[in-house]
Amino acid sequence: MGWLETLRTGLEAVRSHRLRSGLTVLGIMIGIAAVILTVGLGTGAQDQVKSAINSLGTNLLTVSPGSTTSTAGVREGSGTASTLTESDADALANKTVAPDIKAAAPVVSTSEELSDDVNTDTWTSTVVGTTVSWETVRDRSVTEGRFVDNEDVTDHTAVAVLGSDTASELFSSEDPVGQIINVDGVPFTVIGILDSVGDDSSTTGSDQDDQVIIPISTATERLFGSTSLSSILIESTSSSTLSSAYQEADAELLALHGITTASDADFSISSEASLVSTATSVDKTLTLLLAGIAGISLLVGGIGVMNIMLVSVTERVREIGLRKALGAKPSAIRRQFLIEASVLGLSGGAIGAALAIIGTKVLPGAVGYPVAVSVPATILAIAVAVAIGLVFGVYPASRAARLAPIDALRNE
């Protein structure tokens, strides 16, 4: 008996018990759909985190004041120390000292209350004092007006570039460029609006569309009253030179600060890559957990197949006996039942995959981020469904194959 023949017989058997086959298929279907969707959700979340972090600027290193490897009690905590200066940033931007650093932007930042010049709208936002390099390092641009330039920094001009969200909060209808805003009582002229990155603050900690950029000189003189930096942002010349840029910055800052042992450093350098890998690994763990739960439901579906196949064998003892009497070898009977089980698995897998693909169109609306469906994962899931049908069909099938024809025929 050929495979094609067996397949036909198997399909017929599945068709002739529609309700029972349908219920079995349902179990597999739910399992497969759950696996594809959870993996899709996980991958979607990972992609989301990656793109959010990429929007911060590529090839980015952040130098923070203070040490993260604090062992001595006297050392100040990371981010609160005042060990970084503008001259550190200037030195890092020097091409001969650090050839792999494309640009370095000194940053002072704090949260300030803003208002438009008539004090009708107020808004609290992050105020960032920096130089023209920030635009390059952060990989941002202005959609309107211009960015802070070198002259602004030299002349301590009171000008501000607004993030798109900040602009719309303060100026609902009129064009913000040319308007005056008050930052902690100091008037600034709006000279530009930053492009929108549509960022989600939950993944990166701060909203990239809600900030005010002013010249660093103006910021330290008029607002902050201190020349120490919150951070220095460094962009390497390419992603492959990120680690050499890291080493150059580390060595240069140690030298500038007169520190001989690296463990005594009064600053720390972190890369966005480490942030990416942390966020991704969290997502991966979650995905694994969800996929594990989905996998269990798939296992339950498989047990369902076995159950139904055993019922099917018991119910069709006469048919099996007859087929054997008419010349069916045990292998032919075994094959027939295996095919039947894998047809159940295949149908469940295919319908489940279709369901999951529909789910990926519907779900993003509910969870707020895209659900990725990978074609190889879907094909794999269907293959797994067939394999489940086969594995859980082996026992019922060999029971059927072992039936003695006379015992089977006698069953009346």
Partner 1 sequence: MAEVIRMEDVTKVYRTGSLSVAALRGVTFSIDEGEYVSIMGPSGSGKSTLMHILGCLDVPSGGRYWLSGQDVGNLDEVDLAEVRNGHIGFVFQQFNLLASMPAWRNVEVPLVYAGMHRKERKRRAIETLERVGLSDRVEHRPGELSGGQQQRVAIARALVGEPSIILADEPTGALDSTSAQDIMGLLAELNRAGRTLIVITHDRDVASAAERVIHVRDGLLVNEPAGAEVARWVG
| Binding residues for partner 1, total number by CB under 8 A | 23
Residue 258 touches partner 1, criterion: CB under 8 A? no
Nearest partner of 395 among 327, 308, 329, judged by Cα: 308
Distance, in Å, from the CA atom of 216 to the CA atom of 241, rounded to the nearest integer, reads 28
Binding characters for partner 1, 15-44, by CB under 8 A (x = yes): -x----------------------------
Q: Answer for the pair 280, 46: CB distance below 8 angstroms, yes or no.
A: yes
Residue 140 touches partner 1, criterion: CB under 8 A? no
Residue 362 touches partner 1, criterion: CB under 8 A? no
How many Cβ atoms sit within 10 Å of the Cβ of residue 35? 27
Least gap, CB of 285 to partner 1 (angstroms): 50
Distance, in Å, from the CA atom of 83 to the CA atom of 87, rounded to the nearest integer, reads 11
Residues 58-97 that bind partner 1 (CB under 8 A): none
Q: Answer for the pair 322, 409: CB distance below 8 angstroms, yes or no.
A: yes
- Helical (H) or strand (E) element with 302: helix 272-315
Residue 146 touches partner 1, criterion: CB under 8 A? no
- Per CB under 8 A, which region of 91-99, 142-150, 173-181, 404-412 contacts partner 1? 404-412
Least gap, CB of 409 to partner 1 (angstroms): 7
Least gap, CB of 330 to partner 1 (angstroms): 6
SS (H, E, C) 194-245: ECCCCCCHHHHCCCCCCEEEEEHHHHHHHHHCCCCCCEEEEEECCHHHHHHH
371: left (phi over 0), alpha (psi -120 to 50) or beta: beta
Reading the block at residue 224, the tokens are: 């902050």
Helices (H) and strands (E) in the chain, counts: 14, 10
Nearer to partner 1, 329 or 361 (CB): 329
Nearer to partner 1, 12 or 151 (CB): 12
Least gap, CB of 21 to partner 1 (angstroms): 13
Residues 288-347 that bind partner 1 (CB under 8 A): 318-319, 322-332
- Per CB under 8 A, which region of 71-79, 114-122, 208-216, 401-409 contacts partner 1? 401-409
Least gap, CB of 406 to partner 1 (angstroms): 5
**Interface contacts to partner 1, rule CB under 8 A:** 1-2, 5, 12, 16, 318-319, 322-332, 404-406, 409, 412
